[in-house]
Amino acid sequence: MKTLVIVTHPDIKSSLVNKRWMEELNKFPGKYTVHSLYEKYPDEKIDVPAEQTLVEQHDRIVFQFPYYWFNCPPLLKKWLDEVLTRGWAYGSRSGYKVSGKKVALAISLGVDEHEYHPSERYKYSLAELTRPFELTFEYVKADYRPLFAYYGIEYNTSAEWIERSVPLYLDFLDAL
Ligand SMILES: Cc1cc2nc3c(=O)[nH]c(=O)nc-3n(C[C@H](O)[C@H](O)[C@H](O)COP(=O)(O)O)c2cc1C
């Protein structure tokens, strides 16, 4: 079964790394369903039944996004609020449609990994900062997996740095 990669980038045309990851994944349509929320919903009106059907058709779901203000871009939060409905994602015996599915985050970040550390500027690791995602997906009984992160994009925008991330990301997806 294919892996569903839900991409949430408000300005994918100007993106370096998320755009590159999407291009790469789109080379393997038999392996990945790449679903770009801001491109699908430029008016930000999410088709909830369509999203739920898409989730039901996949056993592995990756949420790929650039890290903005220590969080995800807003359309992904809206997606969580609207798509994970009571009776479908939780709260009834026939619900829990995400239950057992492998779910992971794939995040690109501007600053370096060592800065997300108790003795440094941003104090917390990315695993700690993404606890709301962990709790959300545990709440709906998904199999929440450790995240993939690629750091330092504000410090190094070279093609080499971007390309370096591609096999790392593909390996992560393959191992999910
Ligand atoms: C509005 C905004 C907020 C950002 N907040 C953070 C942040 O909190 N932490 C961080 O490491 N990088 C932050 N960045 C940097 C982005 O994460 C980085 O530019 C992005 O991951 C690069 O991916 P892209 O090439 O696909 O756009 C921010 C960038 C923008 C535009």
Q: Kindly report the backbone phi and psi dihedral angles of residue 164, in degrees, each rounded to the nearest multiple of 5, phi listed first.
A: -55, -30
How many whole angstroms separate alpha carbon 8 and alpha carbon 93?
A: 31
CATH number assigned to the domain with residue range 3-175, chosen from the 4 options 3.40.50.360, 3.40.50.300, 3.30.70.360, 3.40.630.10 = 3.40.50.360
pLDDT in tens, 10-57: 999 999 999 999 999 999 999 999 999 999 999 999 999 999 999 999
Closest ligand 1 atom, CA of 108? 21
| CA 108–ligand 1 middle distance (angstroms) | 7
Q: For residue 157, give the ligand 1 atom closest to its CA.
A: 25
Does pLDDT of 1 surpass 90?
no
pLDDT digits (tens, 9 = 90+) for 54-112: 999 999 999 999 999 999 999 999 999 999 999 999 997 777 999 999 999 999 999 99
- 96 CA → ligand 1 middle, Å: 32
Ligand 1 contact via 67 beta carbon (within 6 Å): yes
Whose tokens are 């990315």? That residue is: 126
The string of DSSP codes covering 143-166 is EE---EEE--TTT---HHHHHHHH
- For residue 44, the one-letter residue type is E
Predicted TM-score of the model (pTM): 0.98
